Chains A and B, each alone.
Chain A
């Protein structure tokens, strides 16, 4: 497995030299450079014009990607942050520019993505007067940011920016908004230099590690007969893939992933027993209610993972490793909480646990998963007749990319299918909107993902509905010349809602029948090579053509209209009541 080496930006104090009489805008750009920023996703407008004017002279150091809608900038910054492990940066103007960021900021907040959004604001003397393009960005973004701040004087910019980056990337990462009034952008001051932030007295990024809880946890693990590991994005965010692998391999405990945690160990690792939750695998869901010790690492027991809480793992002792104390006991009562950065806590735990194998227990997962393979996966991935299935497209893609591609997904049926069937050899390879479930995420996120991992193949897998939500970002692909492969899995429905209407609303298909434009023609209108395929015998050739093409490529695949994603834990049911059909 390959682990991305993430630059340790935390301890180095970068100080740019003092400069006399420079504008707030220029201080901002110098600060971004000092923070190691190379790529900015943004869109100019009235209240941020001074920053864009300063940027005109900095294009050799800062690459600015002009998106087609500010929401696209946030998702691109998220994609960038998720593949690179660095902080994504967004520029937008005041008013509508800022409000268009909201969905992406909320998405970054719930999925703990480090992001710094810089919004322009009207002149300070106009604040509160309903000035042109004035909106109260700070109050609008307060519930969906880790931190936000309004700058009204150029002298604040350097310190606030340094704090913003420190807050965004440390502890449990998250989005930060800095709103800068136009006068502060224009104002000229003597700049004393940029100092990176490494301490804020009211902010504790990491809780102290308590060795006696590690000991308690190890004792529980060592006495367990049927231990079970659940792992989430915390491992990726903590760059703790190696530490996690060592822990799993020493303890021999079966491990299952949330969709945000997939790739922390390779999909084909012998102890990787599959996906948790509503559309996860049979074994991990059923056996959650049979294990004796549940070890949750860097995950937050989302309701899509737990199903009905009062019937969730009631028989088990729960060990919860998390950097955020607010996650402990939030949804599932913890027996032993292990607060801390899992990069530090996992090795301490690994030292104390016995080297073991749990062959019989592991065999139970395999047996349950085998039922799923026979009844469900094989027909989905290897159909002989009928229309194409979403699963076989992902399966063929796996065979061609061999698990080394970055897969970016949107939200809905195709997302669940892609997460279930895509193979990942590497960490930071599955980019999806997990917590917020934002349709329209994938296309702009794929652009950012590619900027964050330029040596990788980036494939966006998108439904016909979600694609039309941010379709305009084809313009960003066209203009930036970035190489992104796009697969539209077109079932001519808003498939996930249709599936629920079929299962729970007597097939009353209320407004899920969505028509699409000629996607191939649209792509070609943006000078992006494209093709449509609907026959099985042409699928592999079409995928190969897409992957071999130099530059971006759109492949529209027509798939079965009314396929359902199974297994499924229906809402209000326990995870062990998972249905295979």
Chain B
């Protein structure tokens, strides 16, 4: 029954670096009217291979179908989806606060230390702090800083590393060698949710 409750999934997509691919990936979600919570694109450990991190709150059933449709795209090499238990993730946040407030109030400095914030820029009129962490952590500091005249706030998309992953170096060799890559799919009947299906 777990497949019908919505939860947060992080999808990792390994792709070629190609113009237009972002659109090809995005429309697979928009076609099903799925809202993307966050999307990040970055290089990977392998030259020329890009990776997308897409965060989405949905049922596992839908996520599995979307994953397969993503992987079907010609320039997509591999797609994984994971729950928050399977991954290490971080988000970066920037906060712009008036410098005079911070300079005058000791309590602010204590707060910033408590939240692990670091000053990026200090000017006479404002100071920009950064924190990294999970959503709740970066959000919590926003709430606190609001009282001290928070001028501007921005948060990055989630970036995530899969705990069980060995990276893409060996995978890419399989693709280069014309050998079909390993593909993990689940099937209720044969394995009761265990990852045994490979192709």
Contacts and interface: CB of A to CB of B under 8 A. Distances in A.
Contacts, number: 78
A207 B199 CA distance: 6
B180 A207 contact: yes
B68 A326 contact: yes
26 contacts: A139-B20, A139-B23, A142-B23, A147-B74, A150-B20, A202-B15, A202-B16, A203-B74, A203-B75, A204-B180, A207-B183, A207-B199, A208-B198, A208-B199, A210-B198, A216-B190, A317-B189, A325-B68, A326-B65, A326-B69, A326-B71, A329-B187, A334-B189, A336-B189, A337-B187, A337-B197
B77 A201 contact: yes
A201 B181 CA distance: 10
B188 interface: yes
B178 interface: yes
A285 B189 CA distance: 25
B94 interface: no
Given A201-B176, A204-B180, A207-B180, A325 B199 contact: yes
B187 A334 contact: yes
A103 B69 CA distance: 22
Given A210-B199, A330-B65, A337-B187, 18 more contacts: A139-B20, A139-B23, A142-B20, A142-B27, A147-B74, A201-B176, A202-B74, A202-B76, A203-B75, A208-B180, A213-B190, A324-B72, A326-B71, A328-B68, A330-B68, A333-B188, A336-B190, A337-B197
Which size class do A's interface residues fall under?
20 to 34
Top 3 closest A-B pairs, CB basis? A326-B68, A207-B199, A208-B180
A304 B11 CA distance: 32
A409 B125 CA distance: 74
Given A202-B74, A324-B72, A325-B199, A335 B189 contact: yes
Interface of A: 138-139, 142-143, 146-148, 150, 167, 199-204, 206-208, 210, 213, 216, 317, 324-326, 328-330, 333-337, 339
Nearest to B69: A326
Contacts of B74: 146-147, 167, 200, 202-203
Contacts of B188: 333
A204 B65 CA distance: 18
A325 B71 contact: yes
Nearest to A335: B189
Nearest to B64: A329
Contacts of A201: 16, 77, 172, 175-176
B125 to A, nearest CB: 38
Nearest to B77: A202
Contacts of B33: none
Interface residues of B, number: 33
B148 interface: no
Given A202-B77, A325-B183, A142 B24 contact: yes
Interface in B171-187: 172, 175-176, 178, 180-181, 183, 185, 187
Contacts of A146: 74
A237 to B, nearest CB: 16
B123 interface: no
Nearest to B177: A201
A247 B65 CA distance: 30
Contacts of B75: 147, 202-203
Contacts of B64: 329
B110 interface: no
B152 to A, nearest CB: 31
A258 to B, nearest CB: 21
A504 B71 CA distance: 41
A199 B177 CA distance: 9
A167 B180 CA distance: 16
B31 interface: yes
Interface string B1-32: 00000000000000110011001100100010
A143 B27 contact: yes
A328 B189 CA distance: 13
Interface string B118-150: 000000000000000000000000000000000
Contacts of A139: 20, 23
A210 B191 CA distance: 15
A572 to B, nearest CB: 21
Residue among A208, A213, A334, A339 with max Cβ neighbours from chain B (10 Å): A208
Nearest to A201: B175
A328 B197 CA distance: 12
Nearest to A220: B189
Contacts of B15: 202
Contacts of B23: 139, 142
A203 B15 CA distance: 10
A463 to B, nearest CB: 30
A150 B71 CA distance: 22
Contacts of A333: 188
A197 to B, nearest CB: 12
Contacts of A202: 15-16, 74-77, 175
A156 to B, nearest CB: 12
A398 B51 CA distance: 56
